Amino acid sequence: MRLLPGVSRPLAYLAFTGVAIGVVLPIAMTLSIGALIGSIPAVVEQGPASAALDRTWQLFAVVAGLYAAQQTVLPLLDLLTGQLSRLFAQSLEQRAMACVAGAPGTAHLEDPDTRDEIERATGRAGGWPAGPVISVMAQAWTARFGALGSTALIWHYHWWLAIPVLVVPVAGLSFWKRTYGRATAVIYGSNQEIRKAGYANNLLMSRATAAEVRVFQLGPYLLDYGHRIWQRAMVGVFAAWSADRRTVTAVVIGQNLLTIGALSLIAYDGARGVIPLSSVSVLVASVFAVSSIGSANDTDYQISMRLASVPALLALEKKVAAQRPSGLLPIPASAPAQRIRFDGVSFTYPGRTKPVFDGLDLVLEAGRSTAIVGVNGAGKTTLVKLLARMREPDSGVITVDGVNLQSLDPAVWQRRVAAIFQGFVRYELSAYDNIALGAPERQHETQAVHNAAARAGIVDVIEALPKGWDTPLSRQFEFGSDLSGGEWQRLALSRALFATSSRAAGGAGILVLDEPTANLDVRTEADLYDRFLDLTAGLTTVVISHRFSTVRRADHIVVLDEGRVIEQGSHDELIAAHGHYAELFALQAERYVEGAAEELEEIHD
């Protein structure tokens, strides 16, 4: 209720007014119909030419008017609350997305408990997003507040009858709400199981997994797996319903007996002439209206499930807000101007005992390219996460031009880092947008976007697409097209280069290339090597690669092993040192030479 005026104050107040009118109209209709029915005996007794018939016609006109009002107001209320529901749903979704995206790092997305909180906040945990709850609640309020008004009519008949007629249904409603609340708590408590079932469903429906699902005939297995996981998650829900079976029976029987008893008393008094026919009609309708309060239906279950996500969202927002740092220092547009330094940095992933880094010391000189080399698990990608503040070190400090990185605004700092991650995103948007997303605030700078594509060598590919730069890069859209792995990688490189094209104005000045040639063919890879120094000129570049043909072109090479720097220097210096780097280089060179010799031999044969 507190959130609704913030969504749309006019619509919220109109909705409240509509509910109030919706409450009054049924009561007025009940009284008018009662008066109309009560007027009929006088017409029968006095004849059609009497004043009694005129009164009956007048009452009929009132009933018709109230009916027309109901048929007008209630549909308008549905339309009004429907629009408010859509705005409310959009507001909650935007708040949830802002909350998730607003956290500076990615640790919360990898933490199971936080993932559960996110699922609860968005309503995905129970499959009931909060948005449509406004329409559902408006229907419930209209019926139940109207029923309270009907209680006053019964009170006028017999106050001692009105009390149990109201109390028993309200007690029944309270019972149902507790039952729904327990079922909701169980569902939200089984969130991880539900997420697993949802993951299995996504594997079946995803285009990215479609080929492998069919090659390995995974469809029947995934269907069965998702169903078993879902059933396991629902065991507690079924148990919650079963536990209240006897109470449910008692509540239903008790309420029905009370309703039958009240109706019998009204009929008895009406037959004896104690109350007129008009009162019989009004009281019967009133008893049915009040007894409906305690009736179990899907509306109450929907309200319980949908409302559960609202306090979860508010709690998540409060938690994220508490984690946001304060008192942050401004970041100069030229940073880094000197160097980025890792001093005694240690880091261990949650749930693990072995640290990735344990006292890492490393210097990345500004404006130069540094290649990071090491076997898998040496900590290369983790180093990039710490550099981009996707993760924070457990101890030690990372400084930028002598300033502690943690004292700088993480969002502003992350705009200084452009990266091609090994698992870069293939946006199913236009080719132009795929590049422009490197700096969304500059997406109107068409020439800069084209220049970035030209530097990455992807212009000819884009212009050959069905709609050129406007071609959606997904075949699920009209005129859509897909790219090869190497073409996607060059497009991702374009995006990173576009992000660095305004570094003088505070854009990205750090370029991270994580396996930048992994998907490139030999000719394109060779072309990228030849232009590597031109592409990275003036940037603080970090290159992670297993291909030494890329690594050797870097100004400085760092060899990581067991989370520490064991060697560093230029390519020539490290080869001359005959250390770990020289050994790895020789092994890879030997493999390439052997492979080339085998290919030449096959061609000769």
Asked if residue 562 is part of any domain, the answer here is: yes
Cβ–Cβ < 8 Å for 176, 247: no
As to burial, measured by CB atoms within 10 angstroms (0-12 exposed, 13-18 middle, 19+ buried), residue 565 is middle
Q: Are residues 79 and 118 in the same domain?
A: yes
Torsion angle, CA of 463/469/474/478, rounded to 10 degrees? -100
Could you tell me if 247 and 122 lie in one domain? yes
Q: Residue 328 domain-assigned? A: no
pLDDT at 347 (0 to 100): 93
Residue pLDDT, tens place only, 37-87: 888 888 888 877 778 888 888 888 988 998 888 888 878 888 888 788 788
More confident residue, 502 or 212: 212
Q: What is the pLDDT of residue 522?
A: 63
Confidence of residue 148 (pLDDT cuts 50, 70, 90): confident
**One domain for residues 393 and 431:** no
Mean pLDDT of the chain: 81
Using the 3D structure, point to which of 445, 475, 507 is the last residue of a domain. Answer: 507
Q: Where in the sequence is the domain holding 93, given as residue range(s)?
A: 4-323
How much is the pLDDT for 470?
A: 93
Q: What's the angle, vertex CA 117, arms to CA 112 and CA 119, rounded to 5?
A: 90
Q: How many structural domains comprise the chain?
A: 3
Residue 213 belongs to domain with CATH number: 1.20.1560.10
Kindly state whether residues 72 and 126 are assigned to the same domain: yes
Residue 17 lies in a domain: yes
Cα–Cα distance measured from residue 50 to residue 53, given in angstroms and rounded to the nearest whole number = 6
Is 402 among the domain residues?
yes
> What value does the mean pLDDT take over residues 390-415?
89
Same domain, 253 and 366: no
Residues 272 and 351 in one domain: no
- Mean per-residue pLDDT for 330-337? 83
148 and 164 inside one domain? yes
Beta carbons of 567 and 579 less than 8 angstroms apart: yes
Domain final residue pick, 285, 301, 323 = 323
| Same domain, yes or no: 369 and 264 | no
- Domain-embedded: residue 502: yes
503, 513: one domain = no
Given 304, 323, 342, the domain boundary residue is: 323
Q: Give the highest mean pLDDT range of 64-73, 186-195, 466-475.
A: 466-475
- Average pLDDT for residues 216-232, to the nearest whole number? 84
Please report, for the domain that includes residue 452, its CATH number. 3.40.50.300
Q: Quick check: is 355 in a domain?
A: yes
Statement to judge: residues 103 and 12 lie in one domain: yes
Residue 106 pLDDT: 73
- The residues, ordered by sequence, that sit 6+ positions from 91 with a Cβ below 8 Å of its Cβ are 3, 6, 7
Q: Which two tokens stand for residue 565?
A: 């720097």
Give the count of beta carbons closer than 10 Å to the beta carbon of residue 409: 15
Are residues 95 and 238 located together in one domain of the fold?
Answer: yes
Provide the pLDDT for residue 431: 93
pLDDT in tens, 441-458: 888 999 999 999 998 889
Model confidence, pTM: 0.67
Say whether pLDDT at 543 is over 70. Answer: yes
Query: Does 78 reside within a domain?
Result: yes
Shared-domain flag, residues 305 and 437: no
